């Protein structure tokens, strides 16, 4: 053995010893970090078996919703919502483009934060899932029979749509309140073009109430309320005895407009804003307030044609606090509170103190008493401020650092995330005493318990939505998926079961028993119910139609051929619309459509549906197209050609399949 | 997505090309477990033999319309297309068999030896177009009308 070899062997051996030592110390010193002994059994879902819960996670900056199964943590699907998806054509096809319209123009992206189930009697009913765009204020509605986005409503007179879209007990209303106050047009403000430093004088906020049609889920901006220019952070409707009220946290009651990190953290207390939405709605419907001009888009998929259309709206009803005496109150809360949650009984309201070391728990009954006694300590913009001690049931102490959010197990306990100290803290709702805690890896934002924000938590699991991933998975460069952690909360102690990575940066999640969703799923669209204006229901009707420089190709797809699959007569300068109808009537037999040189997107067409894509050829030639979704043993044969000729050529439109072109 | 369907679903109709051994084994198993009614009349929702009488022209034209809408992408009368030529199908199979094949193509391809053999030849599995019993009966009448062997 040469000297060099000896040296190398010593080094390799030394590294091996060091690594082994590290591994052992890693495992033995912190057992809870790697879960419990029987955790594998509890999260194992055998091949062919289904998870017991669906978990819907906002994707944060992906603009979408990600669907996972629990307890396995398996990624089941991604629902495109605010972000275009060139892989299936969502937001590119003629049928879906209009969903992205806003008063600012076409916006291809969004920032989803809070998925929220529709509710019946305060219980998640699994009909629809609503989700906000924080960036350009919008609310989307996902149909949980198809896992598709059916509607997107823009909200005017607001910015930073963060405390949204929480639902009232019977989904009468969704919330939306301003996080980033802005100057507003007259008559609400003094115009939109003002110095930023005139914040206190000119900047405004609104609380929006979006009415939901109980039959089809359609949304309508019913009314807005002017509120002081704070940063409103999160909100919840009451439940049970408090169901007629809605509660919002705010920070920046300092009304800072720059370096909020310091300037919005000056005061010892900020507020919870409580609004009696039920009575405000009655007053609004009596005609109180003012109808003001505002331009905003309402994008809706027509249930008959399956084509999204935009309606530009121009009016909204706005009420002022002076219209609403006795219906709006501020409750002080320590300091820059973040999350706000109402207990399943509806008796208590708990915030995440964020910059405070306690979780304040307000009593709804105490709030009502204080209102009756008219026991206030002043007012802001005509909204009375109640006394902190009059409304507070208790402060939960020893909750760790940076408490952000609570959720409930339905057995009398709340679970809170502590962001800075990276832990989940379990506390007794009635006594306010901490009874258990468990480290998380790392820095949880929200947590979510199945049904944990409703009157009937299903409980059993708790999902910690961690903001920092670091070393939990194999590294993937500087960026990595977010890390979720699943806990078993069926016993007295939190038990860590599973880590699983998720796409984007989920802010909040909603879980629901699988049986509520899985039985009503649409598996294919009935061809006879397809009323898309460009449907081709049978091959005989397939055709190519020229109208000036516009050419419409009406095409069918079935295993495994297109009709027509040979097309000639397209010319440079033409605008071609390719309308593909998948005439299959079987579950999970989509066909894809891809055309060489297509600049916008590919398409996936589900059984029984029609999807249309616009193509403006830039080159003369013959361009192959094919099916991108493996459909049968002869999938590779599912292809065709389109010929593009010079603008001045006299090639006639001809087309066909398996015969001479006609 | 489709691949998942192939892999997971034991009731799926498809066998992978090239896997001859398991295919012939399936055929063996399939014919073993079938009743003589099933061998003659197929496996599916029609469990009583369907009797036909003199050609019903009204039913023929209803069936022709349905055939054009739901079947003609893959079947032609008088020529092989994606699937077999159906001009004389009523000479080869009973009306009940044809109806079960239309209403339960996945089950037929998987369990019936004759249907399974056809998949080996044509490779593309017959699509389920969700025809009702009445619709299937009308399409059978149309097949009878195009078959020169039918007594008219």
In a 3-state reduction of DSSP, which class is residue A104? coil
Residue B32: predicted pLDDT: 58
- A353 band by pLDDT with thresholds 50, 70 and 90: confident
Which tops the pLDDT comparison, A13 or B76? B76
Distance CA A440, CA A444 (A): 7
Distance CA A307, CA A101 (A): 14
Residues 6+ positions from A579 with CB-CB distance below 8 Å: A532, A534, A535, A536, A552, A553, A554, A555, A610, A611, A612
φ, ψ of residue A274 in degrees (nearest 5): -110, 130
Please list the alpha-helical segments (H only) found in B19-147. 20-33, 36-41, 57-70, 89-92, 95-103, 105-111, 113-122, 133-146
Distance CA B152, CA B147 (A): 10
Asked if the model's pLDDT at residue A6 lies above 70, the reply is no
Residue A37: predicted pLDDT: 73
- Cβ within 8 Å, pair A585-B127: yes
Distance CA A361, CA A349 (A): 6
Distance CA B99, CA B136 (A): 5
Query: Chain A: nearest CA to B69, how far in angstroms?
Result: 5
Tell me which residue has tokens 């009537």: A585
What strands, in cross-sheet order, belong to the sheet with A482-488? A444-448, A461-466, A482-488, A495-502
For testing the chain B interface, which of A75, A526, A529, A538 should be mutated: the one with the most B CBs within 10 Å? A538
Mean pLDDT of chain B: 83
Which tokens go with B71? 């079947």
CATH class entry, domain A53-518: mainly beta
Distance CA A595, CA A603 (A): 10
Of A552, A555, A520, A550, residue with least CA distance to A540: A555
Q: Which of A28-32, A70-74, A524-528 has the lowest mean pLDDT?
A: A28-32
Residue A185: predicted pLDDT: 95
Q: Is A620 exposed, middle or buried (0-12, 13-18, 19+ CB in 10 A)?
A: middle
Give chain B positions within 8 Å (CB) of A588: 1-2, 4-5
Q: Is A387 exposed, middle or buried (0-12, 13-18, 19+ CB in 10 A)?
A: middle
Which tops the pLDDT comparison, A36 or A376? A376
Q: E strands within A478-565?
A: 482-488, 495-502, 509-513, 543-547, 550-558, 561-563
Domains within chain B, CATH numbers bracketed: 19-146 (1.10.760.10)
Query: Chain A: nearest CA to B53, how far in angstroms?
Result: 30
Q: Which of A27-36, A256-265, A421-430 has the lowest mean pLDDT?
A: A27-36
Query: Chain A: nearest CA to B75, how far in angstroms?
Result: 11
Give chain A positions within 8 Å (CB) of B130: 526, 585
Give chain B positions within 8 Å (CB) of A586: 127-128
Of A313, A133, A116, residue with least CA distance to A217: A116
Q: Which residues in B have their CB inside 8 Å of a CB on A? A: 1-5, 8, 14, 16-17, 68-70, 72-74, 81-82, 123-125, 127-130
Distance CA B144, CA B50 (A): 14
Percent of chain A with pLDDT over 90: 91
Considering only CB atoms, A590 lies closest to which of B1, B16, B73, namely B1
Give the domain ranges of chain A: 53-518, 534-656
- Cβ within 8 Å, pair A558-B127: yes
**DSSP letter (8 states) at residue A100:** G
Residue A356: predicted pLDDT: 87
Residues 6+ positions from B132 with CB-CB distance below 8 Å: none
**Per-residue model confidence as pLDDT tens digits over B74-121:** 999 999 999 999 999 999 999 999 999 999 999 999 999 999 999 999
**Per-residue model confidence as pLDDT tens digits over A164-207:** 999 999 999 999 999 999 999 999 999 999 999 999 999 999 99
Asked if the model's pLDDT at residue B11 lies above 50, the reply is no
Mean pLDDT of chain A: 94
Mean pLDDT of B127-138: 96
Which tokens go with A301? 């998929």
Query: Chain A: nearest CA to B58, how far in angstroms?
Result: 22
Mean pLDDT of A560-577: 97
Question: Taking a C-beta distance cutoff of 8 angstroms, is the pair B131, B71 a contact?
Answer: no
Which tokens go with A478? 């500087």
Residue A285: predicted pLDDT: 97
Of A186, A168, A83, residue with least CA distance to A117: A168
Percent of chain B with pLDDT over 90: 76
Distance from CA of residue B40 to its chain's centroid? 12
Asked if the model's pLDDT at residue B7 lies above 70, the reply is no
Asked if the model's pLDDT at residue A400 lies above 80, the reply is yes
Question: Nearest-CA residue of chain B relative to A48?
Answer: B8
Distance CA A196, CA A200 (A): 9
Mean pLDDT of A259-277: 94
**Per-residue model confidence as pLDDT tens digits over A65-105:** 999 999 999 999 999 999 999 999 999 999 999 999 999 99
3-state DSSP of A261-311: HHHCCCCCEEEEEEEEHHHHHHHHHCCCCEEEEEEEEEEEECCCCCCEEEE
For A144, A498, A553, A614, A631, the CA distances from A580, given in Å and listed in that order, are 25, 43, 8, 12, 15
What strands, in cross-sheet order, belong to the sheet with A403-408? A403-408, A413-418, A423-428, A434-439
Residue A18: predicted pLDDT: 41
Q: Is B72 exposed, middle or buried (0-12, 13-18, 19+ CB in 10 A)?
A: middle
ipTM > 0.85 for the complex: no
In a 3-state reduction of DSSP, which class is residue A23? helix
Dihedral sign from CA coordinates of A38, A44, A46, A51: positive
Question: Nearest-CA residue of chain B relative to A77?
Answer: B1
- B31 band by pLDDT with thresholds 50, 70 and 90: low
A58 HSE (CA, 13 A, CB side): 33
Asked if the model's pLDDT at residue A252 lies above 70, the reply is yes
Query: Chain B: nearest CA to A587, how far in angstroms?
Result: 9
Asked if the model's pLDDT at residue A564 lies above 90, the reply is yes
- A659 band by pLDDT with thresholds 50, 70 and 90: confident
For A57, A64, A354, A501, the CA distances from A506, given in Å and listed in that order, are 6, 10, 19, 11
Query: Chain A: nearest CA to B105, how far in angstroms?
Result: 11
The structure's pTM equals 0.90
Q: Are strands A434-439 and A444-448 parallel, antiparallel or unpaired?
A: unpaired
Measured between its terminal Cα atoms, the distance across chain A in Å is: 81
**Per-residue model confidence as pLDDT tens digits over A413-453:** 999 999 999 999 999 999 999 999 999 999 999 999 999 99
- Cβ within 8 Å, pair B72-A589: no
Distance CA A243, CA A237 (A): 6
Distance CA A609, CA A581 (A): 6
Question: Nearest-CA residue of chain A relative to B81?
Answer: A658
Long-range contact pairs involving A160-163 (C-beta distance under 8 Å, separation at least 24): A160/A134, A160/A135, A160/A231, A161/A132, A161/A133, A161/A134, A161/A135, A161/A136, A161/A137, A162/A113, A162/A132, A162/A134, A162/A232, A162/A233, A162/A234, A163/A232, A163/A233, A163/A234, A163/A235, A163/A248, A163/A249
Question: Taking a C-beta distance cutoff of 8 angstroms, is the pair A356, A335 a contact?
Answer: yes
Residue A14: predicted pLDDT: 41
Distance CA A282, CA A276 (A): 10
Q: Could you confirm whether domain A534-656 is CATH 2.60.40.420?
A: yes
- Cβ within 8 Å, pair B82-A561: yes
Instruction: Return the number of other C-beta atoms located less than 10 Å from residue B118's C-beta.
Output: 18
- Cβ within 8 Å, pair A588-B14: no
Q: Are strands A123-133 and A116-120 parallel, antiparallel or unpaired?
A: antiparallel
Mean pLDDT of A136-160: 98
Question: Taking a C-beta distance cutoff of 8 angstroms, is the pair A465, A509 a contact?
Answer: yes
Question: Nearest-CA residue of chain B relative to A589?
Answer: B2
Tell me which residue has tokens 């206190």: A200
**Per-residue model confidence as pLDDT tens digits over A373-391:** 999 999 999 999 999 999 9
Question: Taking a C-beta distance cutoff of 8 angstroms, is the pair A71, A497 a contact?
Answer: yes
Asked if the model's pLDDT at residue B27 lies above 60, the reply is no
- Cβ within 8 Å, pair B2-A658: no
Q: Which of A119-128, A470-479, B26-35 has the lowest mean pLDDT?
A: B26-35
Mean pLDDT of A620-636: 94
């Amino acid at each position: 053995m040469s000297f060099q070899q000896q040296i190398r062997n010593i080094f390799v051996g030394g590294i091996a010893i060091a690594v082994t030592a590290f591994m052992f110390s890693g495992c033995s010193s912190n057992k809870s970090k790697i879960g419990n002994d029987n955790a594998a059994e509890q999260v194992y879902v055998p091949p062919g078996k289904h998870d017991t819960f669906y978990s819907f996670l906002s994707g944060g900056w992906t603009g979408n919703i990600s669907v996972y199964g629990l307890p396995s943590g398996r990624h089941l699907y991604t629902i495109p919502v605010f972000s275009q998806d060139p892989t299936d054509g969502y937001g590119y096809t003629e049928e879906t483009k209009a969903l992205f319209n806003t008063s600012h123009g076409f916006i291809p992206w969004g920032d989803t934060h809070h998925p929220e189930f529709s509710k019946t009697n305060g219980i998640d009913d699994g009909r629809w899932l609503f989700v906000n765009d924080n960036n350009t204020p919008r609310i989307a509605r996902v149909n949980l029979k198809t896992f598709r986005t059916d509607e997107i409503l823009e909200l005017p007179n607001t910015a930073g749509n963060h405390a949204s879209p929480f639902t009232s007990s019977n989904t009468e209303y969704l919330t939306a309140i301003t996080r980033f106050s802005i100057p507003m047009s007259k008559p609400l403000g003094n115009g939109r073009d003002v110095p930023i430093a005139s914040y206190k004088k000119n900047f405004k906020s609104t609380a929006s109430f979006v009415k939901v049609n109980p039959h089809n889920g359609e949304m309508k901006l019913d009314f807005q309320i002017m509120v002081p220019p704070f940063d409103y952070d999160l909100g919840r409707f009451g439940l049970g005895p408090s169901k007629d009220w809605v509660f919002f946290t705010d920070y920046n009651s300092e009304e800072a407009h720059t370096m909020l990190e310091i300037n919005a953290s000056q005061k010892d207390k900020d507020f919870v804003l409580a609004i009696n939405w039920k009575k405000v709605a009655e007053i609004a419907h009596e005609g109180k307030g003012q109808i003001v001009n505002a331009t905003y888009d309402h994008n809706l998929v027509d249930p008959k044609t399956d084509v999204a259309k935009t309606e530009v709206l121009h009016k909204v009803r706005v009420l002022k606090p002076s219209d609403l005496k006795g219906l709006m109150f501020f409750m002080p809360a320590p300091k820059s509170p973040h999350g706000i949650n109402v207990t399943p009984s509806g008796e208590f309201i708990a915030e995440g103190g964020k910059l405070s070391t306690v979780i304040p728990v307000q009593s709804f009954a105490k709030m009502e008493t204080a209102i009756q006694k008219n026991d206030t300590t002043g007012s802001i913009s005509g909204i009375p401020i109640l006394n902190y001690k009059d409304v507070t049931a208790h402060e939960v102490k020893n909750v760790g650092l940076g408490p952000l959010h609570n959720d409930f197990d339905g057995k009398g306990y709340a679970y809170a995330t502590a962001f800075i100290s990276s832990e989940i803290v379990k506390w007794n709702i009635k006594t306010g005493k901490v009874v258990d805690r468990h480290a998380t890896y790392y820095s949880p934002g929200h947590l979510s318990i199945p049904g944990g924000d409703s009157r009937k938590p299903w409980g059993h699991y708790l999902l910690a939505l961690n903001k920092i991933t670091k070393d939990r998975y194999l590294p993937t460069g500087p960026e990595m998926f977010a890390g979720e952690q699943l806990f078993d909360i069926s016993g007295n102690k939190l038990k860590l079961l599973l880590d699983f990575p998720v796409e984007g940066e989920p802010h909040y999640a909603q879980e629901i028993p699988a049986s509520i969703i899985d039985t009503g799923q649409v598996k294919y669209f009935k061809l006879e119910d397809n009323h898309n204006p460009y449907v081709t229901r049978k091959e005989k009707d397939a055709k190519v139609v020229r109208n000036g420089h516009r050419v419409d190709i009406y095409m069918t797809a079935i295993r495994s051929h297109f009709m027509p699959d040979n097309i000639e007569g397209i010319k440079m300068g033409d605008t071609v619309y390719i309308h593909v109808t998948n005439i299959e009537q079987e579950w999970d037999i989509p066909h894809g459509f891809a055309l060489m040189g297509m600049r916008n997107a590919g398409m996936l067409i589900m059984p029984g549906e029609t999807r249309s894509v616009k193509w403006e050829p830039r080159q003369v030639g013959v361009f192959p197209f094919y099916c991108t979704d493996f459909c049968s043993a002869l999938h590779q044969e599912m292809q065709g050609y389109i010929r593009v000729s010079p603008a001045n050529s006299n090639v006639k439109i001809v087309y066909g399949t398996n015969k001479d072109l006609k | 997505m489709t691949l998942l369907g192939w892999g997971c679903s034991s009731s799926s109709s498809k066998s992978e090309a090239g896997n001859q051994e398991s295919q012939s084994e399936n055929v063996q198993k399939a014919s073993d477990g079938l009743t003589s009614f099933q061998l003659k009349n197929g496996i599916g929702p029609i469990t009583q033999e369907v009797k036909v009488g003199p050609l019903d022209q009204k039913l023929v034209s209803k069936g022709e319309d349905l055939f054009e809408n739901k079947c003609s992408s893959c079947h032609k009368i008088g020529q092989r297309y994606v699937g077999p030529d159906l001009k004389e199908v009523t000479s080869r199979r009973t009306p009940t068999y044809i109806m079960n094949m239309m209403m339960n193509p996945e089950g037929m391809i998987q369990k019936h030896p004759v249907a399974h053999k056809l998949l080996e030849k044509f490779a593309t599995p017959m699509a389920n177009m969700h025809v009702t019993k009445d619709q299937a009966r009308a399409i059978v009448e149309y097949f009878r009308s195009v078959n020169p062997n039918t007594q008219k």
